[in-house]
Structure 1
């Protein structure tokens, strides 16, 4: 069933104001789907396809763009297959769904400060059983607000109709799927696409975290971009680093220190693209608001995201894919579909991954515009708006499950990651005359010096 994937790609491409005739080059192959109440495999193939169409456009490639719907579905989960070691568990021991006295709530405690915020409300807990007891006496809405007030992350489960009627649901529904701002000032960058490795020499400053932003920059690195990820000294996301650092340089800077601020400003001045996932106002608080960024890097292409949208009462609210699924009715719809006793989320973090590929597509569309008029530009997306895109497509049609990934689905090359040898799934997309490949293995955050590739050529 590829019509649904084409429909998602067309909807995303339209939001990006892409040339309509480019859609004729998109081919979707593969059978089977991830089991879900919603068309997750179609969203996977469609979003990957839109990013690849944008890559072909900016590179001036007129050949076919072919997405393997099955492989795209797998890339929305885990692309890495360790050899002789295990991937860490991505979830904190007390993260998850809990039943309150009037419904369900999800606690997101993967970051230590988010767990500490929840425990300031619920008391210290050593396991899920203790957390369940602490949660059970609360009303879900009151607990959500109490944890948020402490700087934590939580989401009560709402239904689709509840979210549609909620002030934030209405605000998100009125937002564009991709908001593209006016062109910025002219650029002094001499970057232009190169044959065979279209994004070689493109400098991408990556200020993103779990998970959409890193997916976007991983895609760009796959076609040669010089992606430099910057994290603060105390940030870690060890369980997913093998997935999201592929092809990147990973460094740390403390923007509270003058020397590191000077380094960051020099890096930003040399960047073609800035991708960030900070909540609205966060960069301003560091002294790098929009005006300051434009002054440092005229002509910059900038793409950013947040969780719950850019307008409405929840604009800037902390959130993650799993929380947005609870808030927007997706988890409850899954529960109803399966007649389950608890929330049933999507089988993968599809909001994150799809938004990531749409972010990559937005970067490339803005670069295409910059190549024509010399001006930078900005775009913004949100997980909640991507959720609306998925829900608007309606329930998933019955379809056999994707056949499991086998050895034939893995790239033949052994990847020497920082954790040990591994093999990666084959790329989910083929772009004529521009193979998707990564020249740098996955690495730990902070492993590198904060510098662009010496020759500007990228990996």
Structure 2
């Protein structure tokens, strides 16, 4: 069974629809021992075919979807290829984000792209706030002990583990009992059509609340937007962001701010939720439930809601509430270890793109569209769960390529045919095109990204 077939069958979709998709090209497309192109084409073909099915359900019109491996891998590096006014590639990483060697000869990755995470790391280490001081402090600590201490403080780090070490952990064992993605009915509601019956795009008239930041969740919202959904991004005014990612993943979205710590902010979100079709969020499991916006709460406020949750390490197991990002999951689960071994080096090595983030984002959009089809057919409120760690486990199951790292790494100038330009409040943007080809409903972003808080929090 191909990875696309695995996704399609995991979601219990109609196998006959697979005859309406063509995937061309394969691995390797990027310098990695992992089958990144196989992952990219599978998730992009799945979400594109789900969009085509939404359109077919509404209009009766079929179309054939095409996905090329090269374009899919370009899309998987969208933040890397972003340019503003023909300037240089934006900087995405804090200097403290990276690999550090520990006293016992292990490697630890820090993730310090948010200022408060960086400050917390420096405080815990009791050192000066610069890379040399941090490296020296980490060389005086054992890896597993420091990894645990950082995790206990809610900071972002991961001990580099081999796949076997990861598999022995309770968290990995919890994930082994979960499917790649879950689409569950969580409440009763009458059947509802998918968006506007007269709409020209698959998701015309579908309202999406996007409460996510950085890459995975925002890619999910961006994907729904490219198929015509009305996506309203909701940020907390106090929450940090990474400016280039706001731009890259804000395409097609409006942007508002609400402070969910305040009653007025929660009241406004409830009112928006009462008229939404999809609620997409990437807070840690149970974080929004504490504010009254867990899956069950959402289903009571808006019977018929499709609630999509994106997490780092999954919703079960001792790490379910641990903070995590794509690179940390790669480090913890053995991906960075495997890439380093293949390169013949001791220092860990990540994938050549944020593959877990992007794949999980596309899976989130896929799950949302499948759930919308089920709601149209049988009614109900629906919960979709995806996680970076489950996606990473799936990628690892695809096996490795002996000489994958020798593959040429395509530069910006070599991917111009897969890019587009658009004017925006940030300046002229050069960014990736949607990877899929859909002749009846070509995916596109109807609006450029906007600064956070540009729009009012209303439909």
Do the two structures share a fold, i.e. TM-score over 0.5?
yes
Q: Is the 8 A contact 2:336 2:349 kept in 1?
A: yes
- C-alpha distance in 1 between matches for 2:315 and 2:303: 24
- C-alpha distance in 1 between matches for 2:130 and 2:190: 53
* Cα 1:385–1:333 shift into 2, 3 Å: same
Deviation at 1:288, TM superposition (A): 2.3
Deviations 1:289-325 (A, max 9, x none): 3332222111101111211122222222111111100
Tell me whether 284-293 or 111-120 shows the greater mean CA deviation: 284-293
- C-alpha distance in 2 between matches for 1:92 and 1:157: 19
- C-alpha distance in 2 between matches for 1:87 and 1:440: 22
In the other structure, the counterpart of 1:101 is 103
Off by >4 Å, runs of 4+ in structure 1: 187-190, 192-195, 397-400, 402-405
Q: CA RMSD in A?
A: 1.9
Matched, 1:209 2:213: yes
Query: 440, 448, 457: which is aligned to 1:450?
Result: 457
Give the aligned length. 446
Deviation at 1:224, TM superposition (A): 1.0
In the other structure, the counterpart of 1:3 is none
Matched, 1:234 2:238: yes
- C-alpha distance in 1 between matches for 2:22 and 2:198: 24
Deviations 1:153-187 (A, max 9, x none): 11000001111122111111111111122252215
- C-alpha distance in 2 between matches for 1:187 and 1:410: 42
Tell me whether 78-87 or 276-285 shows the greater mean CA deviation: 78-87
- C-alpha distance in 2 between matches for 1:417 and 1:169: 43
Alignment of 1:392-411 (within 5 A): 392-396=397-401, 398=403, 400-401=407-408, 404=411, 406=414, 408-411=416-419
- The gaps in structure 2 that reach 5 residues or longer are none
Deviations 1:10-58 (A, max 9, x none): 1111111111121222212346511112001111111101111111111
Alignment of 1:177-196 (within 5 A): 177-187=180-190, 191-192=195-196, 194=198, 196=200
- C-alpha distance in 2 between matches for 1:84 and 1:56: 34
Tell me whether 185-194 or 282-291 shows the greater mean CA deviation: 185-194
* Cα 1:194–1:110 shift into 2, 3 Å: farther
* Cα 1:404–1:8 shift into 2, 3 Å: farther
Give the SS at the match of 1:293. helix
Give the SS at the match of 1:181. strand
- The gaps in structure 1 that reach 5 residues or longer are 1-5, 453-459
In the other structure, the counterpart of 1:424 is 431
Deviation at 1:82, TM superposition (A): 2.8
Q: Is the 8 A contact 1:409 1:425 kept in 2?
A: no
* Cα 1:443–1:143 shift into 2, 3 Å: same
Q: Is the 8 A contact 1:309 1:385 kept in 2?
A: yes
Q: Is the 8 A contact 1:270 1:297 kept in 2?
A: yes
In the other structure, the counterpart of 2:49 is 53
Matched, 1:253 2:261: no
Matched, 1:388 2:396: no
Q: Please, what TM-score do these two structures have when normalized by structure 1?
A: 0.92
Deviation at 1:87, TM superposition (A): 4.5
Deviations 1:119-165 (A, max 9, x none): 12113543322211111111111111111222211100000111112
Matched, 1:44 2:40: yes
- C-alpha distance in 1 between matches for 2:444 and 2:415: 18
Tell me whether 391-400 or 227-236 shows the greater mean CA deviation: 391-400
Deviation at 1:100, TM superposition (A): 0.5
Give the SS at the match of 1:182. strand
In the other structure, the counterpart of 1:292 is 297
Deviation at 1:408, TM superposition (A): 4.6
Matched, 1:267 2:269: no
Query: 5, 9, 14: which is aligned to 2:9?
Result: 14
Give the SS at the match of 2:234. strand
